[in-house]
Amino acid sequence: MKIAATLALLSAIANGQQVGTNTPEVHPPLPSQTCTSSGGCKTENTKLVLDANWRWTHNVGGSTNCYTGNTWNSALCPDPATCATNCALDGADYSGTYGISTSGQEVSLKLVTHGPYSTNVGSRLYLLEDDNNYKLFKLLNQEFTFDVDASQLPCGLNGALYFVQMDKDGGKSKYTSNKAGAAYGTGYCDAQCPHDIKFINGEANVKNWTPSKGDPNAGSGQYGSCCAEMDIWESNSISQAYTSHPCTVDGQTRCSSPTECGDDATNNRFDGVCDKDGCDFNPYRMNSHNFYGPGSNFKVDSTKPITVVTQFITDDNTANGNLVEIKRFYVQNGKAIDNSAISWTGIDPVNSLTDKVCDQAKTVFGDTNDHSKKGGLKAMGDALKKGVVLTMSLWVDYAANCLWLDSTYPVTKNPSVPGAGRGTCATSSGVPADVLAQSGSATVKYGNIRVGDLGSTTSVTPPSPSPSTPSVTPSSSPAPITDAPSDSPTDTPSDSPTDAPSDSPTDAPSDSPTDAPSDSPTEYPPTDAPSDSPTEYPPTDAPSDSPTDAPSDAPSDEPTDSPSNEPTDAPSDDPTDSPSDSPTEYPPTDAPSDSPTDAPSDQPTPAPSPTAPSDSTVPIYYQCGGINHKGPTQCAAGLICKEWNEWYFQCIAPESTFPSTDSPTDSPTDAPAEPTESPAPTETPQASKHTKKPRTPKPTKTIKPTKVPKPTKKPRTPKPTNSPSEVPTDAPTDAPTDFPTDAPSTDVPTDAPSDGPTDSPSDAPTDVPTDTPSDEPTDAPSDAPTDAPSEVPTNSPTDASTEVPTDAPTDAPTDTPTTIVPTSAPANGLLSFEAKLDGIYLNGSPFIFKGANYFGLETDISVPHGLWGGGQSTTIAKIAALLKSNGFNAVRLPFAVDAALSNKAIDPSKIVNEVALLKQFSGKTLSYFDVMDYTIKTFADNKIVVLLDAHVLTGYSGITDLWYSSSADKDNFENAWKIVANRYKNTWNVIAADLKNEPHGSATWGSGNSATDWNQQALKIATTIQAIVPRWLIFVEGVAQSSRDQAAYPTFWGENLMDVQRAPITLPVANRLVYSPHVYGPDVSSQPYFSASNYPDNMPNIWDLHFGFVNKKYGPLVVGEWGGKYLSTNDIKWQDKFASYLKTNSIGFFYWSLNPNSGDTQGLLADDWNTPRTDKLKMLSVFKGTAIP
């Protein structure tokens, strides 16, 4: 389900800062324009990319956090180079996890985003020229224009748009160990030389890493990342500023010593290579108190959208000259508004920045003139001449509460002192916990980005400057600053707090203003994200001493310890290494699988929970205890601190208020909603939506309440550290019987049943009867339709039916649900399926697949998920009974190629609920095929057929684009299928093979290139399988690209069957081919057609184009995957429309997924693994799956 149009980097090569494949990286479009005086403006197809520090960082091919809380995993990251080799950056779910959305030429950044597994704070984005390169802006003798809406940003927030001198490719070509590059937002630098950046110059910043004392998610390494920074716009609705930050180095430079980095902790702030304070122009600070603010009494009204124009003037009026002036004007309500003039004695009454103005302001404000020392505007201009990268962010400031931007700073100064007053916010304002709790929905919007010749980017003429004549001396009293202390000292820092904390934060930086925390302050990652799932809080390693994103003009006395960008302590479901400015997407911090300090690697990590707010009591659903928990432990009134396991205690209502998970009620209710006022930080983010391979938290005892994080689309389960050694496969090659001959005789019959499986195996789990539920006929269709999908009580499927709510979406298919229709019994106990042009047939009668995907065998733990014990788990028998009672007749079981080739040993602790299976293998080694045999047989007992799916090369390494990789032989897929086909050729309910999951990337269809042509390879593998088991149906998925224009035909991975019409497949055994696209909606990833004015009515034509034409012309279609959360209006519309499309065209399907732990789609079960999602089952109940005899 990954997007073809993105063609993001493929699976990582094992020798450097890697690329993860759990979540596809799909860059949101944000068109921009380049203008000329003579030719007007031309639109460019630019895009956005999220900073690498925000991303989940995990072991290559797995889901173990490389960084958790504020520490690195010492096993994976013993040194910078090894860590870069072992760890990968994953893709991002921009809207679902980070609150980033685009519409036309505008991008919206939300402060707090609550995902299914996380709460994310803030973000940092860069503008891309294409998918692999940042757009470089060369600004001399040019003007840069953009629109901004900062109306929702209160005191304490900073919506920043600025330029930094990063490498165009993110350092990928300069540092060969950096395999991610600009495509994954690497290479950040700014004038604060931030130490919180997790990877610098292609290596991990682990050397001398020091966790922050004040923030459990923040830390700083020995190295900083320095470069020139031009802050175009740092603002909220109260104040705004633009600032020049020159450096003595050219481009991104790694600093390694306190002197070179200019660390505050060692009093070296002005000894470094960059000007951290900068030279800023804040109208309020320049003594113009009625120029910018909320309301019509201000010349520029911040309650309305504003067009901001910045001009870079050179000494010779050419792009080759030296920068001598930075001018500013605004456009609002169609009128140009000139910048305010400076009104302090001792500074020229002008309205722009020049070296003279900077020098004068430093003198009048009493600040160190590091701007001049670092080369002034000429040095700034040299960087702008070579090219700089556009950066946009939103953050809270843990270092100085944004007081350097909107209040009196330092707070000890008298606001009447020149330069001390920066805005009207109280000096007590801006505390991150308060801002997040009170303004979590705050959003900033940037758009209509244009660059070009002076005067070419707007239709209005800049007004001529009219500086005010009177100037106020330092002794006179300026207009009162509300809430600003009147008796503070006269010292006044420069415009904004310093952003680059030194290796160790200092409490009181120098008086001279330091840059606002480098944009990163509020973006730290959540502190307790479970190790397995990235948290969406700002990265946990947000710079402990210097926010990386914070604007560079923060005053120097601002504390350097914890940039606001870092998440406070919300666990992150996403990687923990997001930069200070960006939320961390780390996997959950609960119990990193390989980090003994957090939790034994072989112990499942509990589901992450939100971190407690800053007060002394813990609210409902927040963590209150457990090994390594350092936060509050006292629950709020009326709550108890419940121990789910030794690693995780949680505040919940008394047990009596929770319905039993062992026997769901007839009408399950949603899990109690988390308090809306709770601070953003703590639900750990989970894998971004369209990963399509589940990232599940370690299976064992997860938190009980139904609101539990879910892994996105395919679980990332931590690898058991003490897994038994692999066992060579013993699958017989001749003719396995009904169930493989090497399966334990005590539970699995060795002979194929003459007329189908027995209804109840003697050792079937005792808690779930294996007989067909009493309300479901087995031999003849029932005339009475079922009322609704049924919930299956944990003890008895016979009374599992429950009513479906009557308020299901009105545009969902309306046919009356019916029970499955049985067909005649198969001859010799084996089912005979045929795939004809007009559909699928079973034993000569029309057959419709109504199936679900049940994943887990393809993941690290190599067993179906949900069997791990504890309050939130189930059994395969319960799952099978639920499916059967709701009219499902099939299940798609993904498996891993490497596990099938090796028949690896299985850790019994991952499947503790299957008592009968464990009893059979007591004292013996449990193997991969033992578990698969048992799973298939349990479905057979419930008359459910199985489609086997070769999902991944290695479990769990993500989906490779081709059937091989740099580390896996081209014949591995085919060899695995030989073993699987021989093993299950006589197993009556195994009826089909899905040859490879989601070919994409370099995979082609009909190209003739044997290295990439999926059409050719599918035929080769199918021929091998048909020689062994000719009765199986062969499912062939599409690709994710074609010979057509990709921009015009964007598809999901496996969806694109457009080239079948010129290169169809013909199998050796006729009437067995089924084309099987994977189709997803807006919950999984954005596509241009989801934003069309006629959506969702436009979708049937798009589906026809991508794959629908195949049906009844080239062969039958069965959709192998489709689904979504079914919560948002857009997704409900999409699913209802697709369900109608399937029904109208008599197309069968396998819904993704049955499992609740698929983060971007959720499942047919609620988080407790027992309660059915009646809304989804109602939507699907209109389909008539044909009963299995």
Three-point CA angle 939, 940, 944, nearest 5°:
65
DSSP assignment, residue 232? Answer: E
Catalytic annotation, pick one of 25, 106, 143, 229: 229
- 10 Å CB burial of residue 468 (0-12, 13-18, 19+) is middle
Strand duo 18-19 + 990-994: pairing: unpaired
Residue 946: CA count within 13 A, CB half-sphere: 31
Q: Please give the DSSP secondary-structure letter assigned to residue 1108.
A: G
Q: Clarify whether 229 is annotated catalytic.
A: yes
**b/e burial code for range 41-61 (CB count within 10 A of at least 16 → b):** beebebbbbbbbbbbbbbbbb
Strand partners, 821: 1186
List the one residue out of 289, 307, 309, 290 whose CA is nearest residue 299: 290
| Paired tokens of 330 | 């605004």
- What is the residue whose two structure tokens read 């047939």? 841
Bridge partners, 1149 (sequence order): 850, 1119
Contact 533, 587 (CB under 8 A): yes
**Based on the number of CB atoms within 10 Å of its own CB, is 753 exposed (0-12), middle (13-18) or buried (19 or more)?**
middle
Query: Is residue 399 within 8 Å of 330, Cβ to Cβ?
Result: no
CB neighbours of 660 closer than 8 A, spacing ≥ 6?
none
Give the integer Cα–Cα distance in Å for 708 and 158. 32
In contact, 1157 and 1110? CB cutoff 8 Å: no
From CA 949, how far away is CA 704, in angstroms rounded?
31
**Closest of 206, 108, 105, 96 to residue 146, by C-alpha:** 105
Identify the active-site residue in 106, 143, 203, 234. Answer: 234
For 311, list phi and psi in degrees, rounded to 5.
Answer: -115, 140
Residue partners of 121: CB distance under 8 A and separation at least 6: 111, 112, 395, 396, 436, 522, 523, 524, 537, 538, 565, 567, 568, 570, 583, 680, 681
**CA dihedral sign of residues 781, 786, 789, 790:** negative
Q: Which two tokens stand for residue 328?
A: 């500013």
State the Cα–Cα distance between residues 1156 and 709, nearest whole angstrom.
9
Which residues, in sequence order, are bridge partners of residue 1012?
none
Residue 465 neighbours by CB under 8 Å, 6+ apart: 338, 339, 341, 350, 351, 352
CB 76 within 8 A of CB 59: yes
Contact status, residue 796 vs residue 663, Cβ threshold 8 Å:
no
State the burial class of residue 942 (Cβ atoms within 10 Å of its Cβ: 0-12, 13-18, 19+). Answer: buried
Catalytic annotation present for 536: no
Read off the amino acid at residue 481.
Answer: I
**Range list of β-strands (E), 1065-1127:** 1073-1075, 1118-1119
Side chain identity, residue 947: L
Residue-wise DSSP of 232-275 = EEEE-SS-EEEEEE-BSSSSSEEE-SHHHHT-TTTT-GGGSSB-
Q: Which two tokens stand for residue 991?
A: 């009826």
| Contact present, 993 and 977 (Cβ < 8 Å) | yes
Could you list the active site residues?
229, 234
